[in-house]
Structure 1
Amino acid sequence: MTHFTRSLCRLLLTGVVCAPVLAPALANAHTDLKTFNQSAFDGHPAVVHCTLEDGTASDCYEFTVDYMPEGLKIGPFCPATLDDKGGIWNWTGENGKLYRIDADFLHMLDGLGYRFFDDDGTVHTVDNATQRPTVDHACINVTADESVKITMRLPIEPVMATMPTQLGTVGKVGVALDGVPIFSDAPSIQQTGHMPALDTCGGHIDPGGWYHWHATATDIDTVYATEDVDASCALTQDSGAQFGYAFDGFAMFGSTEADGTAPVALDACNGHIGETALGRTYHYHASTAFPNLPPCLVGIQAQDNFSTTAKAGVGAARSGQGAGQGQLPPGFDEAATKLGITTEELMQALGGAQGGPPDIAAAAAKLGKTEAELKALLPAPPGQ
C-alpha cells in the first residue's frame, strides 16, 4: 500500500474499506488545464518548480487571471434602500440561516441589535477599500479595480496530506474553471459588525478590487431550493458539472454525480473516489446547504500559491514603503481579511505605524478579540 493510499485511508471517515484499488484512483488525479475556459488566462500558463506546504518539491501550473472574467455579471450586493433587494447573507446568530438581503432580513437584524439602515430606509453602505465605516453596522460594497492581476499555482499531481486542512474563515479553497478564485466563509457580522454582502452567485469584491466566490456558483440554485431563499444565479446551473479545482489540485464538482444521482460515501471534506470526466479519481462535491464548498482539503497546497497586484486585501503585493511598515509576513493580509478590516487598519491596531513591537493586548481589545484569538489569526513572526 502506497503512502498516498495510506493517507487517503486515514482521511476517508465514512467506513469505506481501503484497498489497492485506491492507488490507480490517485494516479488519475491531476490538474487538467484543458478543462478551464481558456479565455480566463492572461497569457499562457507555465509549468514551474514549486514547494508544497510540507516542504516537498513538486511541479505546479502557474497562471495569471484578471480581476474578474470578461463579461461576468456580478451583483447586486448591498440594497440601496429597504425597498430594494440585494444579494445574500448567511446569518449565523439567532434565527440563523441563509437570507436574501432585503427589508425583512434587515428588520430582523435590527430587532437583534444590528441596525443597518437610517430612519428614512437608506441602507448604510461603505466601500471599505477606500473609507472606514462611520456607523456601527454597514453593508460593504467594494468597487472593482480593473487593473488587478491575480497569479495562482496548482500542483500538477495532487499529494494527499496526513490530515485534512480545515479552511475556516476566508481560507483559500481553489479556483473556478473561469478563473475566479474561491474562498471559504466570509467574516461574520458578529466578528466585525459589518456585512460583506454576497451577490446571488455567492461572490463579492475583495478590498483589493478583485471578484471571488464564497460558494459553488454553478450549483447555488440547489441551495436556494433547499433553504427556501428567493434568489437565483445568472450563471448556467449544473449540479453534475465540474466547478473548478481546489488548491490541492483535486477537482470540485456540483452536488450530484454527472447522471444526477446523489454522491455516496463522502468523507469529512465532502469528497470521495468516483468516476468523473477526468477518470476515476478523488474529487470534491458541493453540498446542498450554504456554504456549499468543501469544509476542508485532503491534499497539500503549494507554498506561495496566491498573489495579486492589488495594494490591499488577500495576496496583496507590498513594496515595503511607508512608516514602520516594512515587508509584511505572509498571511498578514489573510488575517486582516478574516477580521473584516484592511491591512492598514490591522497595522494601526497593532501599533505598527509607530514602528515598535506590536501590542497584542491593546489590539485584541480594540478588535473585540481575546489575545489568544488574535494570536491564532496572525502569522508567526519571521524565524518562528
Structure 2
Amino acid sequence: MQRVWTTSIFIAAGCFAPAMAFAHSDVDSISDKALVQPAQIVDCTLENGDAAQCASYTLKFVPDDLEIGPFCPATLDDVGGIWDWDGENAGLYRIDGDYFKMLSGLGYTFYNDDGVVNLFDIRVEGPEAEHECIAGSLDAGSEMSITTLIPIAPVLADAPTSLGTVAKVGIALDGVPIFADAPSVLDTGHMPALDTCGGHVDPGGWYHWHATATDIDTVFAQDGVDASCANVAQDQTAQFAYAFDGFAMFGSLEADGAAPVGLDQCGGHIGTTLGSAEEVYHYHAGDGFPNLPTCLMGVVAQDNFATTAAQGIGSAGGPGGGGQGGPDFSGTAAALGVDLAALQAALDAEGGRDADLAKVAARLNVSLDDLQAAMPGRP
C-alpha cells in the first residue's frame, strides 16, 4: 500500500512574497507575482498511473520584481556570477579574471587577447568560439508561459528517483522553476553561468534556479566563496519550494535553528515543521553546491512541466531547444563510429542539450569516457 500524506497548514518564515506556506501545495502556495493566471486544482495522473489532484501553476518568464544576474562578466576585470567547476581544481568559483585564467591553464580559454570574455546569447544565437560563456536573455516581449503540476497529496514512491543534469526538481514559492545540476563545461565546452543566487536563463527565455536560493549564502560560507545572494532574502530555516513530488523543501536548518537529523539519501526526513505539530516528510538544503535534493522520494505527476517558449526545456521543440544555438555533433558521431541521426536521437531521448550522457552512451552502446571525449568543446 502506498503511503499518502494528508494536508496540514503551517506558518513559514517569509522569504518570498507569501506570508503563509503550506505543508502541501495548493492554490495559495506560489506568489501571485509569478502567476499568469490564478492557480487551480486539477485532476492529474501520477507517473505510477494513479489518479490524483494537482495544483496547476501557469508561470511568467520571471516573477515581477525579482532581480536577476549578473551572469557572465564582460572582461577579465569584471566580476560575474558563480560556477561549480567539475574538472581539475574542482570547486565552486566566483566568475572573475582569476577563475578564467585558471581555466585557460587547463585548456579552456574563454577570453581573447584583449581580456574580453567570449559570450553568446543562447536564446537568439549560437557560439562562435570554442569556449564561450552563455548569457541567455529573457524573452520579455512574448506571451511565453510555463505550466506545472504539483501533487496535492504526495505519495511515496517504491524507490527514489535520481536527479541527473537539469532534472526537474520543483517550483520555488516565488514561482521560479528549479532544476538539478546545470550542464558541465566538460561536456559542452561552454559555461551556462549562474548568478550569485544560483539561477540563470533557459534557452527558451525564462529564468530558473539551480540551487536553494534562500540558503545559498550558507554554501558560500562553507566553500569560502566571495559571493552573496543580494536578490533573495536568506533564511536557513524557511521553506523554499515544493518538489515536483509534492513534498516541501526547506533550508539547511530546522525551524528552531538546529541541524536536521536522520536525513535520507535524498536529503529528506519525517518531522514537524514551523507551526505544525504534524510530522510530514520534507527535504532540507545541504551546505554544498548545488544545495538541492539529490533524488525525489515521491511520485511526480505525468506531463508536469511544459512551456510555450520556442525552444528549451519543456518546449514543443524538445528539451534541448530544437538545436538552436547548439553544438555540431557531426564530429562526435564520426569519432564514435555511429550514425549522426542515431546520436541526435539518443541525445533528444535523454534530454536534448542537457542530456544525461551516461544514458546516451548506453543507448549507443559506446563507453561514457569515449562519448565525453568526443563531445564538442573538449580541449
Assess same fold via TM > 0.5.
Answer: yes
Does the alignment pair 1:268 with 2:283? Answer: no
Partner Cα distance (2:69, 2:225) in 1: 17
Q: Is the 8 A contact 1:52 1:303 kept in 2?
A: yes
- The equivalent of 1:291 in structure 2 is 290
Deviation at 1:157, TM superposition (A): 0.5
Partner Cα distance (1:44, 1:119) in 2: 52
Does the alignment pair 1:249 with 2:246? Answer: yes
Tell me the amino acid that sits aligned with residue 266 of structure 2.
C
Does the alignment pair 1:51 with 2:45? Answer: yes
Deviation at 1:27, TM superposition (A): 6.3
- The equivalent of 2:11 in structure 1 is none
Deviation at 1:47, TM superposition (A): 1.4
Deviation at 1:56, TM superposition (A): 1.2
Q: Is the 8 A contact 2:252 2:284 kept in 1?
A: yes
3-state SS of the aligned residue for 2:158?
Answer: strand
3-state SS of the aligned residue for 2:28?
Answer: helix
Deviation at 1:164, TM superposition (A): 0.4
- The equivalent of 1:100 in structure 2 is 94
Q: What are structure 1's unaligned runs of at least 5 residues?
A: 5-22, 319-331, 352-356, 379-384
Partner Cα distance (2:106, 2:245) in 1: 40
Of the three residues 139, 142, 150, the one matched with 2:136 is 142
Of the three residues 220, 224, 229, the one matched with 1:228 is 224
Deviation at 1:116, TM superposition (A): 0.3
Q: What are structure 2's unaligned runs of at least 5 residues?
A: 9-22, 334-338, 348-352, 365-379
Q: 1:123 to 1:364 in 2, by over 3 A?
A: farther
Partner Cα distance (1:86, 1:291) in 2: 18
Q: Is the 8 A contact 1:364 1:371 kept in 2?
A: no
3-state SS of the aligned residue for 1:3?
Answer: coil
Of the three residues 204, 211, 214, the one matched with 1:208 is 204
Tell me the amino acid that sits aligned with residue 312 of structure 1.
Q
Of the three residues 337, 341, 347, the one matched with 1:359 is 341
Q: Is the 8 A contact 1:223 1:290 kept in 2?
A: yes
Q: CA RMSD in A?
A: 2.8
Give the aligned length: 333
Tell me the amino acid that sits aligned with residue 52 of structure 1.
L
Q: Is the 8 A contact 2:238 2:250 kept in 1?
A: yes
TM-score (structure 1 length as normaliser):
0.80
Q: 1:347 to 1:299 in 2, by over 3 A?
A: farther
Q: What are the superposed Cα offsets for residues 265-308 of structure 1, whole Å, 9 maximum, x if unpaired?
A: 00000000111135420000000010000010000110111111
Q: 1:271 to 1:208 in 2, by over 3 A?
A: same
Q: 1:206 to 1:156 in 2, by over 3 A?
A: same
Identity of aligned residues (%): 55
Partner Cα distance (1:81, 1:291) in 2: 26
Tell me the amino acid that sits aligned with residue 3 of structure 1.
Q
Q: 1:344 to 1:111 in 2, by over 3 A?
A: closer
Q: 1:348 to 1:161 in 2, by over 3 A?
A: same
TM-score (structure 2 length as normaliser):
0.81
Q: 1:263 to 1:310 in 2, by over 3 A?
A: same
3-state SS of the aligned residue for 2:84?
Answer: strand
- The equivalent of 2:77 in structure 1 is 83
Tell me the amino acid that sits aligned with residue 300 of structure 2.
Q
- The equivalent of 1:307 in structure 2 is 306
Does the alignment pair 1:74 with 2:68? Answer: yes
- The equivalent of 1:178 in structure 2 is 174
More helix, by proportion: 1
Q: Is the 8 A contact 1:185 1:214 kept in 2?
A: yes
Partner Cα distance (1:370, 1:225) in 2: 30
Partner Cα distance (2:346, 2:55) in 1: 39
Runs of 4+ in 1 over 4 A off after TM superposition: 25-29, 343-351, 361-365, 369-373, 375-378
Q: Is the 8 A contact 1:128 1:342 kept in 2?
A: no
- The equivalent of 1:7 in structure 2 is none
Q: Is the 8 A contact 1:361 1:371 kept in 2?
A: no
Q: Is the 8 A contact 2:26 2:41 kept in 1?
A: no
Tell me the amino acid that sits aligned with residue 164 of structure 2.
G
